[in-house]
Amino acid sequence: MGTDKTGNTNPGNGLRRRRLLQTTAAVGFSAVATTGEAVTAQTSGGIDWEFETGNNVRAGPTVVNDTVYGGSWNGTVYAVDSESGEEVWSYRTDGSIRGSPSVVNGTLYVGSSDNRLYALDATEGTEQWQYETGPVLDFEGVPSSPTVKEGTVYVGNRFEGDRGVGVYALAAESGDPRWTFETEGSVQSSPTVVDGTVYVGSDDEKLYALAADTGEEEWTVDTDTGIRSSPTVVDGTIVVAGRKLYAVDANSGNVSWTVETGVTQSSPTVRGGTVYVGGSDSLLYAVEMDSGEIRWTENVGSATRRSSPTVADGMVFIGSESGNLSAVEAENGNVDWQVDTGAPIRSSPTVVDGTVYVGNDGGRLLAINGNVSGSSEDSRVMLGTLGHHHEWAETDPDGDVETDSMSQSTTGGAEAVVDEGTETNAEPPVSEESNETEPATRDTTEDVDGFTALTAIIAVLALKLTSYRR
């Protein structure tokens, strides 16, 4: 249980519910006749749990060390157990939380519309420092998700007038300012930092490249609308969305190609040489990274212009304003399944160990069975932009993401990142059918008598009855 910024105990107001829903995908039961093996059930797109916050959850969740971190428009940052959906701690600010928390080396960084950036202990939820930005619009202060790189936190803010501080660079340990950069419009998108350069869009219809150590402008690109999506960077090319999808050379700022998508705040991501991004016309786009040629588009039912896609195990996950979370095959754009969460999804999903974590405007953080293996493996998550997982948080990598050379699936859990000098024991094998960890020891008796078989059948029936009762 954490404390609020005044030092008082803050239990938070999250209400927890756990339920398993049958969706458009089929429910598959796996019954095992041998003694000692569990009977399991799996639902593609089934909601494992919902955590209620009482207001919009538009920040993409960050999942580190079996904890889901998310923010709500009720002004509270929540830490929730990834397995049970139970609250671990909460911390209340004086404004709404609109950006995703970043968790690096045991510290959580998050902005609030009370015009402050906060650093909290990721385990306890206690405040380490806060920094007040300005000049800003009242209760509109820091909608940008902070990005942490090599001991520095980079974040944008909203402000009044034609000119103000758009980007801040602060010492991650103390919150002391290192530099600021003035833009001609608010910065609501999140900076992406790669190879010593900060790339960020602004409402002044420009994409900026700034030196990460000094804040000096390296180049700018004029766009046709304000940029509220966050850039992604792969192999020396930046991809960012506004009214169009832009591919920009990271060294020169020259535009390589553009694609019409309609006005969107969906942040693009890259996996396997393909760019995935949501548009304002209910379409999910898949675009060739090298040429800008559209590979496919898929109508997922309603506008996807705010949710940013993520890719895991050959599947693209994206939310829509109808409230559906869609799982789309990355290769051909076919919709594998959809689940209705009951309220618009403007949050960006993050996948960890086959579970999709996302927020919605019904005031909920949700854990949904993705029916995939591994975790998010796309450039957006692996660069620590708009929600991420342990691979970013524990290593603070140099940001040079080679998505084409990455393995086709990433292993989740603590074993994926190993500190130097630390030995880890291999986890028990995982069942491909159930995605559940198998017991460390099993009875492998092949000859099963009639009593054992009857016991297995009873266990299956009991499980079905329990599911219906839940």
Read off the pLDDT of residues 231-243 as tens digits, 9 standing for 90 and up: 999 999 999 999 9
In angstroms, the CA 396 to CA 430 distance is 28
Fill in the DSSP letter of residue 332.
T
Specify whether the CB–CB gap between 82 and 63 falls below 8 A: yes
Both tokens of 208, joined, read: 């900026």
Written as one string, the DSSP assignment of 358-373 is EEETTTEEEEEE---S
pLDDT at residue 33, as a whole number: 26
pLDDT at residue 96, rounded to an integer: 87
pLDDT score recorded for residue 425: 32
Instruction: Reduce the DSSP state of residue 286 to 3 states and report it.
Output: strand
* Closest listed residue to residue 430, CA positions, set 445, 411, 456: 411
pLDDT digits over 433-466, tens only?
A: 333 333 333 333 333 344 444 444 444 444 444 4
- The whole-number pLDDT of residue 331 equals 96
251: tokens are 């060294």
**Can you tell me whether residue 391 is helix, strand or coil?**
helix
CATH topology of domain 15-416: Methylamine Dehydrogenase; Chain H (2.130.10)
Closest CA to 336 of 44, 28, 48, 29: 44
Cα distances (angstroms) measured from residue 22 to each of 7, 328, 362, 468: 43, 19, 20, 10
Could you identify the residue written with the tokens 């501080």?
165
- pLDDT in the model for residue 140: 64
Structure tokens at 147: 């990005």
**Under 8 Å between Cβ of 120 and 110:** yes
Residues 6+ away with beta carbon under 8 Å from 5 = 91, 92, 93, 118, 127, 130
| Successive 10-residue mean pLDDT values, the chain, 470 residues | 38 33 31 26 72 91 95 93 97 90 94 90 96 67 86 85 79 95 86 94 92 97 91 96 94 96 90 93 93 94 83 96 94 95 94 96 95 94 90 58 37 29 32 32 37 44 43
Distance between CA 338 and CA 43 in Å, rounded?
12
pTM equals: 0.77
Contact 232, 269 (CB under 8 A): yes
Q: For tokens 């830490």, what's the residue?
A: 79
What is the per-residue pLDDT for 422? 32
Instruction: Please tell me the distance from the alpha carbon of residue 235 to that of residue 220, in angstroms, as a whole number.
Output: 19
- β-sheet bridge partners, residue 364: 52, 360
Domain boundaries, the chain: 15-416
CB neighbours of residue 8 within 10 Å: 8
